Amino acid sequence: MHLIWTILIGFIAGLVARAITPGRGPSGFFLTAALGIGGALAATFIGQALRWYRPGQSAGFLGAVVGAVLLLVLYHLFNKKD
């Protein structure tokens, strides 16, 4: 059940991040869920490195959204169409 909950929260965080970030990004259920889950992992890793979170503690929903927005910004930086 924990895996299903993580995928659902990741999908919602990915949707929010896609709504906040301008431009076209990856679309589809699986890519949006992966974006949100990746954002949560990125926020957890960065938060633990900066000692905002204790070891073993993960970022919450807001951290997942911020991490997903960061991933989308990086995606847009490296995927420019000239």
Segment 24-61, tens digit of pLDDT: 766 777 777 788 888 888 888 888 888 888 887 777 78
pLDDT confidence tier of residue 3, bands split at 50, 70 and 90: low
Alpha helices (H) in 1-82, listed in sequence order: 2-20, 29-49, 61-78
55 class by beta-carbon count within 10 Å (0-12 exposed, 13-18 middle, 19+ buried): exposed
The rounded distance, in Å, linking the Cα atoms of 19 and 49 is: 28
